[in-house]
Amino acid sequence: MDNFFSRDITLLTGLDKARLLKDELNIHTYEDLLKHYPFRYEDRSRLVTIISLTPTTSSVQLQGYVTKLEKIDKGKKKLVAQFKDQTGQLQLVWFHNFSWIIKKIRPNVLYRIWGKPIFLPQGPIQIMHPEVCFIEAYQKKKDNLLPLYHATEKLKRHQLDTKGIACLQKKLLGQLCTTIEETLPNYLLRRYQLFSLKEAFQNIHFPNDESVLRQARRRLKFEELFYIQLKLLKQKQIYSTKQNGKVFNDLSLFNAFYHHHLPFHLTDGQKQAIKEIYRDIRSGKQMNRLLQGDVGSGKTIVAFLAMLMVVSSKVQVAVMAPTEILAHQHFERFRVFAQHLNLNIALLTGSTKKKEREHTLYRLKVGLLPIVVGTHALLSDAVVFNELGFFIIDEQHRFGVAQRAGLLIKNQVYAPHILIMTATPIPRTLAMTFYGDLDLSTIYELPSGRKPIKTQHY
């Protein structure tokens, strides 16, 4: 299958059209073409009558007879056909390339037409450049849902409009019979009642009805998410077996703050998250944990208590936020907590003044600054830690994999522990799919006295 999918599109289309597909749609291989899915489908299974048409009607399918065909040479040349059904009549109009229409259409023969009706201020309803199909030819067709593909104006000028692309898809699908191999094991196909890969490709492009189209989409979506999750789980396994993390056992600062300076009682969810974090940093393997909880659920205090588990061992913590506003908010909150323990904490962003920045960078390098809060500025090569043992990322969806890797390389001796926080509600199944390389901690309840948070979609 790999060899088939990787074949150059030239083998299917010829050199000139292949160049156009490559330049205009970035379609280079058979796989690229197969995965150029329709963006919409036109329902050709439903017939309407002329009398039911309104100015807001979109493209429709009508059945009736052409009673008159007239070529008009005055002004802008055009071909006009009078079309009628049992409820009324309208005009079919072509403005160019209509010589083949004259040869094709015959009066008093039953046709099906497809197009968008236009209501003129004065005069009859018109359909410009309709598709016309002889009824016997239409009855031989099996496709009730016609696929529509994205195509550029340049492609359309070279007969690679939605019809041209559909023809290429049919030609390519005709070669799948003995070539394509299944990419999912049979037990998964049976368990989840999934189409085969061949059936999915066939019915995503040329479905007979909505039911098979839904099944084709379900199969292709399942496969995409399945392999995303499989890749993430593989990464997680690699991390857990190869990425050694430092063990932190000193809880002196944690206990001092927890028993003497904690400003409120923790919820059960916060306590459970702290237990899970403590278990991770004592495991000898790098922690990769996602902490999620709604706004006001108390993620910040959990993060600070996690910092204390590490700082007690004379290593450093970095907190990275996506914006300067959020970085300032975290800095102010952590600074209030840190004052109780006489811990130094600094803020490092793109707008930090040069003198203050140099002072912060020096203290980080020599190990005099245990906690730093910042933005992408923390990723700069100029930021050198004495020993970065733990970093926290807020709002993970605002950062990419490269940003996370940029902090990991700040410690070449061992892999720093990672805690990622998000206030975006993520269902557990979705979190397992897109954050499969992370362990998950969720704070469900709000601290006592907090007003409930309403999350709404508009």
pLDDT of 244-270, one tens digit each?
778 898 999 999 999 999 988 898 989
pLDDT digits (tens, 9 = 90+) for 134-181: 776 555 555 578 899 999 999 988 889 998 999 999 999 988 766 678
The mean pLDDT value for 181-190 works out to: 90
pLDDT, residue 96, reads 76
232/247 same-domain check: no
Q: What percent of the chain is predicted at pLDDT more than 90?
A: 48
Lookup: tokens for 127 = 């359909």
159: left (phi over 0), alpha (psi -120 to 50) or beta: left
Mean pLDDT of the chain: 86
| 226 shares a domain with 157 | no
Residues 199 and 318 in one domain: no
Of 396 and 177, more confident: 177
Mean pLDDT value of segment 381-408 = 77
Q: Is residue 408 part of a domain?
A: yes
Query: 114 and 262: one domain?
Result: no
Same domain, yes or no: 163 and 255: no
- The answer, yes or no, to whether residue 271 has pLDDT greater than 60, is yes
pLDDT > 80? residue 81: yes
Q: Is the pLDDT score of 12 beyond 80?
A: yes
Phi then psi dihedrals of residue 241, to 5 deg: -100, -30
Is 184 in contact with 229 (CB distance < 8 Å)? no
Same domain, yes or no, for 89 and 162?
Answer: no
Asked if 298 and 355 sit in the same domain, the reply is yes
Global pTM? 0.61
Residue partners of 367: CB distance under 8 A and separation at least 6: 314, 316, 386, 387
235 and 104 in one domain? no
Domain boundary among 194, 213, 241: 241
pLDDT, average across residues 35-50: 89
pLDDT category at 243 given cuts 50, 70, 90 is low
- 24 vs 36: CA distance, rounded Å: 12
Please answer whether residues 245 and 313 qualify as being in contact, where contact means their C-beta atoms are separated by less than 8 angstroms: no
Domain boundary pick from 199, 216, 241: 241
Asked if the structure places residue 138 within a domain, the reply is no
Q: What is the mean pLDDT of residues 8-25?
A: 90
Statement to judge: residues 274 and 286 lie in one domain? yes
Is residue 66 over pLDDT 70? yes
Mean pLDDT to the nearest integer, 355-380: 93
- Say whether pLDDT at 13 is over 90: no
The total number of residues written for the chain in this structure: 458
| Residue 319 pLDDT | 94
Of the pLDDT bands very low, low, confident and very high (cuts 50, 70, 90), residue 42 is confident
- In this model, does residue 425 exceed pLDDT 70? no
Q: Which two tokens stand for residue 216?
A: 């084709």
Q: Supply the range of the domain harboring residue 84.
A: 55-133
- Residues 337, 305 contacting (CB under 8 angstroms): no
Give the CATH number for residue 297: 3.40.50.300
Do 233 and 302 sit in the same domain of this protein?
Answer: no
Confidence of residue 122 (pLDDT cuts 50, 70, 90): confident
Question: In this structure, are 193 and 328 located in the same domain?
Answer: no
In a shared domain, residues 283 and 405: yes
Mean pLDDT across 221-230: 88
Residue 82 predicted with pLDDT over 80: yes
Residue 141 has a pLDDT of 58
Instruction: Indicate the residue among 103, 133, 163 that finishes a domain.
Output: 133
Provide the number of structural domains found in the chain: 4
